[in-house]
A and B are shown apart, each in its own frame.
Chain A
Amino acid sequence: MTRSGFKPGPLVWVAVFALAALLPLLQPGGFVLDVAINVMIWSMVAYGLNVMLGYTGQLPLAHAGFFGIGAYTVGILTLKQGWNFWLAWPAAIVICALGGLLLGLVAFRTKGDAFSIFTLGVGVIIALVINKWDSLTGGNDGLNGVPPASSLFGIDFSRSANFYYVALAALALTVLIVARTRQSVFGRSLVAIRGGEDLARSAGIDVYSHKLRALMLSTAIAGLAGGVYAAYVGFLGSAVAGPTTTFTVLLYLLVGGVGTLAGPLLGTGIVYVALQFLKGLQDYQYIVFGPLLVLLVLFAPQGLAGLWDRAQARRVQARAERAVDHA
């Protein structure tokens, strides 16, 4: 089974990002820009999840927790300690990577379903601790008034049109890192682990350390996204770190296509924008999304990028058959 997916070349990616970079020039604020920044933030989390689910074949369910840790690290350091955003952000990423390491040390003693459920438990603990630790996180009231990113090189990042480029750069960096990782020996080893741990081990891959490093990369990306979120939204509540967020990101990833490079961005973009039209549903959005999730895994588990892939394969096959007919 090929899971390569819809594979736009590097040029297509450059074109997509170049086009995206023009958006603030056309629309220097308001609704469209807000949706775009949110899509970029959440697709980063989806990319992080994809490193684990798509490449390594493990489903961790603590990602919203790490997103929350990243966001709260930036929020607390900038709001309470007076740190500069540009220092707090890398700190958040490092903390999330270390958190991923700690989680992995214990969690990778379990496998498969138990691993998912175990990490879900950890995700809940993270959300609960954020919710209860009033003196540090503001507890139920949340953290209000996280300052926007401070100026750098004379550019005022408190304007959302300028901050848009921070999110865009972070997303570009994420895509680049994930793509490079996927192509490296490390990435191919991860795919081997997805195929079968015992086989990978017999091929000389240190499964445990590979999974650990994949999880660290994955949680670091979640922290990266969390940092952007904190500075952009300016308000943090503990709900964002809860399991519902993890499942929503999982939905984005599933719609787009697990294990593909375009999938996380595609899925997040489509679902998030669709959500804006379903705003009236608000709390009831899972009346639509719940069955959608079920139908997706039943009938299109490869997601949109996978559908594209299948159509492509059919076209290639048809061409081959025609060639045979002519011969």
Chain B
Amino acid sequence: MTILFQQLSNALALGGVYALVALGLTLVYGVMRVPNFAHGGLYMLGAYFAYAALNSLGVGYVPALILAAVAVAGLAALLERLVFYPLRNAPHVHAMIAAIGVLFFFEAVVQLIWGADFKQIAEPVPGILNLGGVVITWQRLIVIAASVLVMLGLNFFLKRTLTGATIEAMSQNREGARLVGINVNRVGMLTFAISGALAAVAAALIAPIVSVAPSMGEVMNLKVFAIIILGGMGSVPGAIVGAFLLAFAEVFGGFYINLDFADVIGFAALVIVLAIRPQGLFRRGT
């Protein structure tokens, strides 16, 4: 029973991180209709920026997380201007291929600067919490709490503020949004910046648990794409549900079936769901 709860906390922490990364991706897809394959690269950069801020600037964990989020947000907005905006009317395949180029470019640059070997970020609050035999590291609790907090904040932003509403409006109907006077270009940039910030926050949160490596972006990329297909591309609730589904499938599948095949189980779940519901679980009517 304690093992079950322990696995549950692992799955919740993992699901929270997946959700943050997937939310950015699904927002960008909703607004720009671009599958941003560079998203995993932004996530990976977030982890390295946090690492650099901690070790080179010597700031604390929280400032490092914020610095990483701001830096990656700026970079994502720049990416939108330089790559995705010029390609907005080109076939989707083009934007996808360009994003792949960006992803590999990020990976190569990071490898050049920091090397290919794993980097460690120290846990800001070391130690564990013992809840009646269930042992949870503080970092996992921080990850769960912080990701829930960020998701609530994002929900408030999208539903309750005017700027957030423009993002919603654009993902519902691009032309309609333009007609009522929404600056489509600005919203596109903003959405990219938010998605970058979310990815960086997620990366900085999970970095003390897993290690930081240039290839971490590629793996995460595939997973979050699986998640947003699972949830229905462009759907916000779909991304969150999909993230936790994948995390549970991986953690419990890895535990009860075979740890080696944990990653395969996640993708196998995706294949099965899509075979039954090709439009994903939460696809809105278009």
Q: By the criterion CB–CB under 8 Å, are A59 and B225 in contact?
A: no
Cβ-defined contact, B226 with A297, below 8 A: no
Most chain-B CB neighbours within 10 Å: which of A59, A117, A247, A287? A117
Q: Say yes or no: A298-B218 contact (C-beta < 8 A), given A109-B278, A132-B264, A284-B112.
A: no
Chain A facing B: main interface SS: helix
Taking the closest CB of chain A, its distance from the CB of B26, in whole angstroms, is 12
Stretch at the interface among A34-42, A79-87, A120-128: A120-128
- A114 close to B229 (CB less than 8 A): yes
Tell me the bound Cα distance from A186 to B87 in angstroms: 31
B275 to chain A, nearest CB (A): 5
Q: Assess whether A289 is in contact with B263, with CB atoms less than 8 Å apart.
A: no
Is B59 positioned at the interface, with any CB of A under 8 Å from its CB?
A: no
Number of A-B contacts (CB under 8 A): 119
Set of chain A residues within 8 Å of B270, measured between Cβ atoms: 118, 121
Contact of A301 among B90, B116, B261, B268 (CB under 8 A): B90
With A59-B96, A298-B87 as given contacts, are A106 and B108 in contact (CB-CB < 8 Å)?
no
Contact present for B101 and A120 (CB under 8 Å): no
When the two chains form the complex, which single residue of B29, B87, B101, B264 contacts A293, counting CB atoms closer than 8 Å? B101
Q: Is B271 an interface residue (CB 8 A)?
A: yes
With A and B bound together, what is the CA distance between A109 and B260 in angstroms?
Answer: 29
SS class, residues of chain B in contact with chain A? helix
**Contact of B108 with A285 in the complex, beta carbons under 8 Å:** yes
Is A297's CB under 8 angstroms from B97's CB? yes
Contact of B104 among A112, A113, A289 (CB under 8 A): A289
Instruction: Tell me if A283 counts as interface (CB < 8 A to partner B).
Output: yes
Which of B29, B105, B116 has most chain A Cβ within 10 Å?
B105
Chain A residues whose C-beta falls within 8 Å of the C-beta of B93 in the assembled complex: 53, 59, 116
Q: A113-B35, A250-B100, A290-B101 are in contact. Are A298 and B86 (CB under 8 A)?
A: yes
Q: Does B233 touch A at the CB level, under 8 Å?
A: yes
User: Is there a chain A Cβ closer than 8 Å to B146's Cβ?
Assistant: no
Q: Whole-angstrom distance from the CB of A93 to the nearest CB of chain B?
A: 24
Q: Confirm or deny: A233 has a beta carbon within 8 angstroms of a beta carbon on chain B.
A: no
Q: Report the nearest B residue to A121, measured CB to CB.
A: B267
Interface flag for B83 (CB, 8 Å): yes
Closest to A248 in B: B104
Contacts A297-B94, A297-B97; A118 near B83 (Cβ below 8 A): no
Set of chain B residues within 8 Å of A125, measured between Cβ atoms: 264, 267-268, 271
A residues lining the B interface (CB < 8 Å) = 53, 59, 106, 109-110, 112-114, 116-118, 120-122, 124-125, 128-129, 132, 243-244, 247, 250, 254, 283-287, 289-294, 297-298, 301
Q: Which residues of B contact A (CB under 8 A)?
A: 29, 35, 83, 86-87, 90, 92-98, 100-109, 111-112, 116, 218, 222, 225-226, 229, 233, 260-261, 263-264, 267-268, 270-271, 274-275, 278, 280
